Amino acid sequence: MAESQERIIVGLDIGTTKVCAIVGRANQYGKVDILGMGKVSSHGGVTRGVVSNIDKTVLAIQEAIKEAAQKSNVDIRKVQVGIAGAHINSLQHKGMVIRNDRESEINKDDLEKLENDMFKLAVKPGDRIIHVLPQDYTVDDEPGILDPVGMSGVKLEGNFHIITGQISAAKNIYKCVEKSGLKVSELALEPLASAEAVLSKEELEAGVVLVDIGG
């Protein structure tokens, strides 16, 4: 009997030498229990982290997913897939919103509006914004605030680290996954996903560097 889709998470890593699929289930403690994994050669369909041959990459994805599905007893339908490569860039940007109601507290909707505005930034032709990472906030000219929710203030500013990548690279990943009979539930920067998986909250805040050599 196949595992229920509830709380199932499937990660797909399309690498230069191999394609990996890993199946997990979120437990009651906020962690992920690993159920199974598939790892196969990328068949030469990926060059320097970027899809260079659609058919070969589709074949590798199908093989990795089949192996992961058999080991985990999960009917895999959608995946969270990583993106990497030399086309990835980043930039810093500051955003600001003026709140109309000075009497009400700053809430998550205010932070979401500020973050969503960052996705509207103009980037170089052929690129798209992949991630917007909040760093800190300023409330009425008081800087260095990590979480302003619940505070009072009119002017809310935020410092953001913005990750960009080539539209064509992202489209080719989506195309390969969809040709494999799956849906992409999320596209994530691979180094960021690795850091969140391996490093603790304290290490992330302290600026610990994680080096993924790959291959």
Residue 201 burial (CB count, 10 A):
8
95: tokens are 């955003």
Total domains in the chain come to 2
**38 and 76 together in one domain:** yes
pTM here is 0.85
The pLDDT tens digits for 111-137 are: 999 999 999 999 999 999 999 999 999
For 120-150, give one letter per residue: b (16+ CB within 10 A) or e. Answer: eeeeeeebeebbbebeebbbeeeeebeebee
User: Could you tell me if residue 186 is inside a domain?
Assistant: yes
User: Could you tell me if residue 51 is inside a domain?
Assistant: yes
Domain of residue 79, CATH code: 3.30.420.40
User: Which range (2-6, 35-39, 174-178, 197-201) has the least confidence?
Assistant: 2-6
For residues 40-51, average pLDDT:
95
For residues 136-149, average pLDDT:
96
**118 and 106 together in one domain:** yes
**31 and 128 together in one domain:** no
**126 and 36 together in one domain:** no
**26 and 119 together in one domain:** no
Beta-bridged to residue 51, according to DSSP, are 46
The pLDDT tens digits for 166-175 are: 999 999 999 9
For residues 32-37, average pLDDT:
94
**31 and 81 together in one domain:** yes
**161 and 191 together in one domain:** no
**19 and 67 together in one domain:** yes
- Range of the structural domain that residue 141 is part of: 89-165
